[in-house]
Chain A
Amino acid sequence: MSSHSFLQDLKTDYQSKYGFHDEEKYVFKAKKGLDRGVVEDISKRKGEPAWMLEQRLKAYEIFLSKPMPTWGNTGLLNAIHFDEIYYYLKPSDGAARTWEDVPSDIKNTFDKLGIPEAERKFLAGVTAQYDSEAVYHQINKELEKQGVIFLDMDAGLKQYPDIVKKYFGTVIPAMDNKFAALNTAVWSGGSFIYVPKGAKVALPLQAYFRINAEKAGQFERTLIIADEGSSVHYIEGCTAPTWSADALHSAVVELVALKGSHIRYTTIQNWANNVYNLVTKRAVAYEDAFVEWVDGNLGSKLTMKFPAVVLAGKGARAEILSCAFAGKGQHQDTGAKLTFAAPHTSGTITSKSISKDGGRASYRGLVKTFPQAHDVKVNVRCDALLLDDVSRSDTYPTMEVGGDRAQIGHEASVFKIGEEQLFYLQSRGLTEAEATTLIVNGFFECFTKELPLEYAVELNRLIQLEMEGSVG
């Protein structure tokens, strides 16, 4: 195996690969901190309808009234300085339709990240978000013919106000939690997708989110509606430069899977290690719908993200695959939530986590069934791998089961890499570092095999990057 030289090629660290940042040139940068005026200003600059401003202001009040969470890593959470954050940064005027229209420095950023190449090669459409606003957006002609709408959220609100109004905030209301309220108050950008009845989107739709400015807040809002019998796969990736001051990413993602539809939502989060990543993601699956969350978390300082599915219609199904890698100074507080509100529904949660160099990976999950949801089957499986004796792994699953016709199982295990495994691979000529990397890649295999090729390759590279210098 030539992974040794491959590892050497990757002697670049996060700083040089993703850690670059461009000079800050913004068409508009809101003042630091948050007040009613900032919220009104964001809405005004976007030329939004009155009902949206009203929602924002209501959410702002909720944000103020809700206390910070008293659970999770409260030490890190309470270190967030909401007054130090820039809530709205506008990098260019309007989303460009073709790649050539994108300002050259931003283009440069995305070139470094390989976005347009990926798009040209095989992805159906791309939205790239730079701080608060989407800067580039393209959709395949074929999809347009099918009537698929793929816009950034601001354009979605302008062009399809009725659809947005019907669904916005219905899956995750501002009351849901403090950070959902914050997002609702100051949201900007994100993706808006509507897949009409029976349409099948064969290629994945892709979005890329990047924070550039120091102390920036990114609050994208994504809404995906899969109409009856349709199917869609959406992929998002995230990075940020390494600034000395912390940045805040607090997204809200709402999925509506109508009767018989299928949504797959894939995330690869690789924020820099000073980004707070506090995200609320939830889907509602109606009759016979199928929702999948494939969620990979590598970067950030603190991630709190628990993709959820509410199984609201008979025969609905959900699968959540959650994968986390916690390195030095990181806490990955991730997991999944399934709520069963209808009969003959089923779900599985698979969680894989790795902790290394003092990192902490926590699985936090919820399985809830209501008495009317009979003939429910749920299976939860969590595996945690600890790579050294200074790292930490937690499992916090909660099951709340009402009714006597639901079958729920949960299983978790925590372990280290076996000496026999290492010995066997080393006896085949691998160094300890190569053997460890191979085992770690194998551990994540159930996750990587669910990703499109480019992403799988990228993830393997990222893991190798993280693994560098881990042995000897």
Chain B
Amino acid sequence: MPATAMPETAGWLAKARERAWSDFKRLPPPARTVETWRRVDYSRWRLNLLDGQAGGCSTAVSLDPAVLKQGVLLTTIEEAASRRPELLEPHLQAACAGLDYAFLETANLARFKGGAFLYVPKGVRVEKPIEIPFLQDAQAEFSFPRALILIEEGAEATIVESHLSQTAGRKASSVAFSRLVIGAGARVRYFYDQTLSAETVHFWHQQADLGRDALLQHYSVLLGAGVHKSELDVRLSGQGARSELVGLLLGSKSQQFDPHTVQWHQASKTSSDLLFRTALKDRAKSIYTGLIRIEKEATGCDAFQQNNNLLLSNEARADSTPVLEILTNDVRCKHGATVGPVSQDELFYLCSRGLSPEEAAKILVMGFFEPILSKLPLDHQKERILGEIEARL
């Protein structure tokens, strides 16, 4: 839906947005002394310049007619606010991102345009991937993508949320909030693709709540933006829920990435797995922080976390902080992290087969990313991403 064809905003939403705007005006911006903002300067988003003007970001979404018949709803948040307020209200009011991000969250809520709302009712299985692309307007200085996705009990869906720039060469600030609610026994494959232009400063926050026995398979591909900061906050709140998180990050030139992940075990017998792989060229920098938290009530949990970093130049830099907070003893919990160059032995072997060192390194990096690449759900997306990675290497 083009942003110009906005339906009349529901009264409750308009009020919530007004409140968010006055909160935004009142809140102090995050200070560098806050751990979350210690390594990436908040002022890069230049939100102090944000005025009454709305940000621009269009969401062109459409659904297969067959899927529509199943009762699946995909529309803008504004439209859904009038049509299905009972579905939206509980999720749009709460400040879910926490204090460290409240400033950004209120700005987004106050100034988002359109937004995407996806609703998959109870027991419905959607075969084809559902795409939610956020296209940054060429002229907009600020954009505020927002998505709300509700997957009810026993439903199944594959969702692709992508962030792309219409044109390169223009400074832009993007602040995105995405909320994913997965009902009991539902299964979701989620794909977050960030290929914004190098001039974009991007922030992304997603909170995912998993009900009883729900399954979330989550893939992040982080290739774009000049500065990227994100938090993927997965809350295993229903007994027996499971999350599998996979991430790929390729940085070059002077790109800077600050991805956080959270595996928060709030209920018993929940399990989670994470694999996050980073390769950095030139002067690129990545600061990965991952938390596994297991609450006192969450007995019989299983949690794993692995972060591997490949440094492809002497000026590149990788920071890694995998954190564990374990409040009960009936758990199995492990994490591992590595940082290093490509293996000299493997390089030597490939070169002995007649490959140039550059070609050999490229093959090794592609192999390093293989566990993530092989799982990408959309063919055209996969092709684009493969092409992008190869070109960058």
Chain B contacts with A in 263-316, Cβ cutoff 8 A = 296, 299, 309, 311-316
- Among B56-64, B224-232, B252-260, B328-336, the stretch in contact with A: B328-336
Alpha-carbon distance A393/B331, docked complex (angstroms): 11
A203 within 8 A of B: no
Q: Which of A392, A404, A415 contacts B314 (CB 8 A)?
A: A404
Q: A390-B296, A393-B326 are in contact. Are A415 and B317 (CB under 8 A)?
A: no
Which of chain B's residues 308-356 have a Cβ closer than 8 Å to chain A?
309, 311-341
In the complex, the answer to whether B327 meets A392 with C-beta atoms within 8 Å is yes
Residues in A whose Cβ lies below 8 Å from that of B320:
398-399, 401, 410
B-chain residues with CB within 8 Å of residue A402 when the two chains form the complex: 315-317
Assess whether A389 is interfacial by the CB under 8 Å rule: yes
Interface residue A97 (Cβ < 8 Å from any Cβ of B): no
* Contact residues, A50-106 vs B (CB, 8 A): 70-71
* Contacting residues of chain A (392-446) with chain B, CB-CB under 8 angstroms: 392-416
Interface residues of A in 349-374 (CB under 8 A from B): 371, 374
Given A399-B321, A401-B317, residue A407 in contact with residue B330 (CB < 8 A): no
- One of A113-121, A380-388, A451-459 at the interface: A380-388
When the two chains form the complex, which single residue of A388, A392, A396, A409 contacts B323, counting CB atoms closer than 8 Å?
A: A396
Task: Tell me, in angstroms, the Cα distance from A397 to B313 when the chains sit together.
Answer: 24
Give B154 Cβ to nearest chain A Cβ, in Å. 33
- Say yes or no: A410-B338 contact (C-beta < 8 A), given A393-B324, A398-B321: yes
Q: How many residues of B contact A (CB 8 A)?
A: 37
Would you call B336 and A410 a contact (CB within 8 A)? yes
Could you tell me if B338 and A409 are in contact, using CB atoms closer than 8 angstroms? yes
| Chain B residues numbered 32-50 whose CB sits less than 8 Å from any CB in chain A | 33-35
List B contacts of A109 (CB < 8 A). none
Once the chains are docked, how many angstroms separate the CA of A408 from the CA of B327? 28
Q: Give the CA-CA distance A416 to B301 in the complex, in Å.
A: 12
Docked pose: A221 CA to B79 CA in angstroms = 68
Closest A-chain residue to B31, C-beta based?
A70
Shortest Cβ gap from A74 to chain B (Å)? 11
The B interface is mostly helix, strand or loop, or mixed, namely strand
Distance of A404 Cα from B279 Cα, bound (Å):
11
The complex places the Cα of A263 from the Cα of B39 at a distance, in Å, of: 35
A391 part of interface (Cβ distance < 8 Å): yes
Q: Is the CB of B340 within 8 A of A406?
A: yes
Q: Give the residues in chain A near B332, CB-CB below 8 Å.
A: 415
The distance in angstroms between the C-alpha atoms of A393 and B34, with both chains bound, is 23
Name the residue of chain A whose CB is nearest to the CB of B297. A389
B326 contacts A394, CB within 8 Å? yes
Pair A413/B333 contact, Cβ less than 8 Å? yes
Q: Complex: how many Å from CA A70 to CA B315? A: 31
Q: Are B335 and A411 in touch, CB under 8 angstroms?
A: yes
- How far, in angstroms, from A410 to B323 measured CA to CA in the complex? 11
Q: How far in angstroms is the closest Cβ of chain A from B331?
A: 6
Contact: B340 with A408, CB < 8 Å?
Answer: yes
Indicate the member of B312, B315, B339 with the most A CB atoms within 10 Å.
B339
* Min CB–CB distance A434 → chain B (angstroms): 20
Q: Is the CB of B335 within 8 A of A395?
A: yes
Mostly helix, strand, loop or mixed at chain A's interface?
A: strand
A374 partner residues in chain B, CB cutoff 8 A: 314
| A386–B335 alpha-carbon span in the complex (Å) | 16
A399-B336 contact given A394-B325, A404-B312, CB 8 Å threshold: no
Tell me if A414 and B324 are in contact (CB < 8 A). Answer: yes
What is the CA–CA distance of A391 and B327 in the complex, to the nearest angstrom? 6
Residues of B within 8 A of A409 (CB): 336-338
Q: Is the CB of B336 within 8 A of A411?
A: yes
Query: A386 to B309, Cβ gap below 8 A?
Result: no
Residues from chain A with Cβ under 8 Å of B323 in the complex: 394-397
Q: Give CA–CA (A390, B295) in the complex, Å.
A: 10
With a CB–CB cut-off of 8 A, which chain A residues contact B311?
401, 403-404, 406
Nearest CB of chain B from residue A412's CB, rounded to whole Å = 5
Which residue in chain B gives the minimum CB-CB distance to A416?
A: B329
Do the beta carbons of B35 and A71 come within 8 Å of each other?
yes
| Minimal beta-carbon separation of B232 from chain A (angstroms) | 19
With a cutoff of 8 Å between Cβ atoms, the chain A residues found around residue B33 in the complex are: 70
- Nearest opposing residue in chain A for B312, CB measure: A404
Residue among B317, B318, B324 with the most chain A CB within 10 A? Answer: B324
| CB-based contact A400/B319 at 8 Å | yes
Cβ-defined partner of A391 (8 Å) among B316, B329, B335: B329
CA gap between A392 and B293 in the complex, in Å = 11
Contact pick for B339, options A390, A406, A413, CB 8 Å: A406
Residue in chain B with minimal CB distance to A411: B336
CB distance from A390 to the nearest CB of B (A): 7
Contact across chains for B335 and A371 when beta carbons are under 8 A apart: no
> Across the interface, do A396 and B335 meet the contact criterion of CB distance under 8 Å?
no
Question: Nearest CB to that of B313 among chain A residues?
Answer: A404
Contacts of A403 in B (CB 8 A): 311, 314, 317
- Residues in B neighbouring A412, C-beta threshold 8 A: 322, 324, 334-336
Please measure, in the bound complex, the distance between the C-alpha atom of A407 and the C-alpha atom of B329, giving whole angstroms.
32
Quick check: A405 and B314 within 8 Å, CB to CB?
Answer: yes
Q: How far is the CA of A83 from the CA of B316 in the complex (A)?
A: 47
Q: Which residue of B lies closest to A391 (CB)?
A: B329
Whether B322 pairs with A397 at a CB distance below 8 angstroms is: yes
Cα distance, A429 to B111, chains bound together (Å)? 70
Q: Closest approach, in angstroms, between the C-beta of B325 and any C-beta of chain A? A: 5
- Interfacial chain B residues near A401, Cβ < 8 Å: 309, 311, 317-320, 339
B39 to chain A, nearest CB (A): 10
Measured CB to CB, the closest approach of chain B to A373, in angstroms, equals: 11
- Nearest CB of chain B from residue A105's CB, rounded to whole Å: 44
Provide the bound-state CA to CA distance between A390 and B338, in Å.
32
Interface readout for B79-99 with A: 1 if CB under 8 Å, 0 if not?
A: 000000000000000000000
With A401-B309, A409-B338 as given contacts, are A386 and B318 in contact (CB-CB < 8 Å)? Answer: no
What residues on B are CB-neighbors of A399 within 8 Å?
A: 318-321, 337, 339
In the complex with contacts A389-B329, A390-B296, A405-B317 CB distance below 8 A: no
A386-B326, A401-B311 in contact; A410/B337 too (CB < 8 A)? yes
The residue of chain A having its C-beta at the shortest distance from the C-beta of B35 within the complex is A71
Chain A residues with CB under 8 Å of B35's CB are 70-71
Chain A interface residues (CB < 8 Å from chain B) = 70-71, 371, 374, 384, 386-416
B: which residues have CB within 8 A of A? 33-35, 296, 299, 309, 311-341
Can you list 29 residue pairs at the A/B interface with Cβ under 8 Å?
Answer: A70-B34, A384-B324, A389-B328, A389-B329, A391-B329, A392-B325, A393-B326, A394-B323, A394-B324, A394-B325, A397-B337, A398-B319, A399-B319, A399-B321, A399-B337, A401-B319, A402-B315, A402-B316, A404-B314, A404-B316, A405-B341, A406-B311, A408-B338, A409-B337, A410-B338, A412-B322, A412-B335, A412-B336, A415-B333
Known contacts A389-B330, A395-B323, A413-B335; 9 further A-B pairs (Cβ under 8 A): A371-B315, A386-B328, A387-B329, A397-B321, A401-B318, A403-B317, A408-B339, A411-B335, A414-B331
